[in-house]
Structure 1
């Protein structure tokens, strides 16, 4: 029998779901997003330096731009919403800012996420060529081709995500109680069609956004790890080779970026499949609510980590990146320390 009151099970389930999303995105997500945006901005400042000019540097700069958009979108769409709902600091955030701009952020995040995945794919192919065909890499992996790849990836991502622009519509209405114009966010009829729900959101997304890049990344990772190990053995036998060492470390950094990207793609695929199964098989809303919420929250958090962790990977594996970073951001501190030492010596 239907009841207008919330059952204890539904109330407990709803609270558990709210707690999962608040922990993953209100707390952890916000920290990673803020750190990631700052880190990616600093990465761009380093990567555009003349000493870092290369085809890989161009691709990494494009990746950082996409990651900033992804992180900013998640911060606005998920994290701020979770924080304001939980703390009640800005009770009207949903109606004042979130809903009116949601379609724009939703479309931008979809384009940026796909652009980030395929840019990582381009980086993996470029580094695979470098480690597999080192003598031909300079002729094949040019800056002009890297720029062309960046443009093509953006165009492809924008065109592929055209259906995303048609998912939501903003519907204005007059609220008699408050005597104000209210804005509500509603799904369009297109978003309820079989093409969007089954063909585009499931079949096409899993194939084009997950399976294709995941397969290429996995194959590239295997070949790159094998090539890096072979290069290390040759270098040890020859007892030297700083250049080979730098190439190996850079390739290791790219492999680390690829591993995080593959993990994000896998969790995203699990989310899509589970939610699709939930729509078809579960009879009530709370049968899979906690499990589905947990999988969705972890999947979205992995996407955030994938976009926010690259700066740390650059610092850990990129010796040249660290050197340029110190010259860019620590120059004034070093000059101040040098002047202080000079002044101290002059007084002694």
Structure 2
């Protein structure tokens, strides 16, 4: 979804006075809600990464969800420097103005890159879940971890290349006394660029992913319900039941993620269609569209921040792993003690075999114990090679 809030929010300074409802919308979204949501989202995505990267969570779907968390986390972190504009003393300094105007171009481009990554990663994980349910008895069609990683790398690289031209759409305004931080380049004024490349950009980055998600998610929800009915009809062993339940939970997470994505990006799709049909100037100069643009930015930040809550609410395995990682330290120690051999440095009383640094094992020598029993109390040992 194209995000131009870092540009359009500053263009309004030269358009004259704005209606009160636009100013209130800008203040509530940019100065109150977005900073809070971004901070909570950074924490939530960080916690999600700590859980999703655990070895017991390894799966193709988890790879996509991990990449989704990384993309959302980077998108939220990109907004942090602009929060310092809320401080009048910092925002008024020339050094900060010079930095923030250069950074605005970078944020404008990378916002679009990560939003596009999020959209296509959501499409990819939805298709992966659909294939897993529809063709579960065809292993060659099921996505593997290696294939998932290749798809993730391809999405990130393609998204960056696709939006690379945006670096040349705006330049920082060197006049620090001017309220307008960015200036439009001649590239935007080129009819060919505005007509073909920009419209193709909007279509591939915003419109097509949303429509694909609507179709793929509908099929996924249908096969999810079908698989659940089939599982209830055929009572299998407890192990297969647990596997089916885990599959249902993972698929339910994907369905919920897609629904939230579509809901939060609906305003962005409307704005993208308007920009593609009417042009940027039509959108940038009209107060209702400016208000919608700030609401769209808020919804995008919400979409990037809410996935952790979805994982905790739907997936039992995610909750258990989260508790083990962050809360159940004693449970984790007990699990590690029962799952791995005892320490090599344990004494003979714990039932382990002491070793030397060179790999030699100490075993009790009956002769040595008899010969030295009076002075060593039977604790002398002889070396035996492994």
Q: Could you tell me which of 196, 200, 206 is aligned with 1:199? A: 196
RMSD value, Cα: 2.8
Distance across 2 between alignment mates of 1:278 and 1:194: 11
Q: How does 1:147-166 map to 2 (within 5 A)?
A: 147-166=149-168
Counterpart position of 1:47: 52
Deviations 1:53-92 (A, max 9, x none): 1111111111111101211223444x554x34xxx35332
Distance across 2 between alignment mates of 1:311 and 1:333: 24
Residues 268 and 226 from structure 1, CA distance in 2 versus in 1: closer, same or farther, beyond 3 angstroms?
same
Counterpart position of 1:295: 292
Distance across 2 between alignment mates of 1:322 and 1:23: 33
Number of equivalenced pairs: 310
Q: Could you tell me which of 91, 99, 102 is aligned with 2:101? A: 99
Counterpart position of 1:211: 207
Deviations 1:205-250 (A, max 9, x none): 3421223212221111111111111122122223462322221121
Secondary structure of 1:324 counterpart: helix
What is the TM-score when the length of structure 1 is the normalising length?
A: 0.80
Q: What is the CA distance between 1:198 and its match in structure 2?
A: 3.8
Counterpart position of 1:314: 311
Q: What is the CA distance between 1:335 and its match in structure 2?
A: 8.4
Q: What is the CA distance between 1:43 and its match in structure 2?
A: 0.8
Distance across 2 between alignment mates of 1:118 and 1:174: 38
Q: Are positions 1:237 and 2:233 aligned together?
A: yes
Q: Which structure: greater helix fraction?
A: 1
Distance across 1 between alignment mates of 2:110 and 2:187: 19
Consecutive unaligned residues in structure 2, runs of 5 or more: 1-15, 334-386
Counterpart position of 2:12: none
Q: Are the equivalent residues in 1 in contact too, given 2:116–2:206 (CA < 8 A)? A: no
Q: Which has the larger radius of gyration?
A: 2
Secondary structure of 1:136 counterpart: coil
Distance across 2 between alignment mates of 1:150 and 1:233: 32
Q: What is the CA distance between 1:326 and its match in structure 2?
A: 0.8
Q: What is the CA distance between 1:157 and its match in structure 2?
A: 0.4
Q: Could you tell me which of 132, 135, 144 is aligned with 2:134? A: 132
Counterpart position of 2:343: none
Q: Could you tell me which of 37, 41, 55 is aligned with 1:36? A: 41
Distance across 2 between alignment mates of 1:279 and 1:228: 41
Q: Are the equivalent residues in 1 in contact too, given 2:97–2:176 (CA < 8 A)? A: no
Q: Could you tell me which of 68, 72, 75 is aligned with 1:67? A: 72
Distance across 2 between alignment mates of 1:126 and 1:174: 50
Distance across 1 between alignment mates of 2:46 and 2:301: 16
Residues 128 and 108 from structure 1, CA distance in 2 versus in 1: closer, same or farther, beyond 3 angstroms?
same
Q: How does 1:249-288 map to 2 (within 5 A)?
A: 249-274=249-274, 277=278, 285=285, 288=286
What is the TM-score when the length of structure 2 is the normalising length?
A: 0.73
Q: Are the equivalent residues in 2 in contact too, given 1:95–1:183 (CA < 8 A)? A: no
Q: What is the CA distance between 1:15 and its match in structure 2?
A: 3.9
Deviations 1:274-323 (A, max 9, x none): 456486779x95xx31x112211221112111111111111111111111
Consecutive unaligned residues in structure 1, runs of 5 or more: 1-9, 176-181, 337-348
Q: What is the CA distance between 1:334 and its match in structure 2?
A: 6.6
Q: Are the equivalent residues in 2 in contact too, given 1:118–1:153 (CA < 8 A)? A: yes
Moved more, 237-246 or 101-110: 237-246
Deviations 1:164-217 (A, max 9, x none): 111122354698xxxxxx99532211122223434333x213421223212221
Q: What is the CA distance between 1:14 and its match in structure 2?
A: 4.3
Secondary structure of 2:64 counterpart: helix
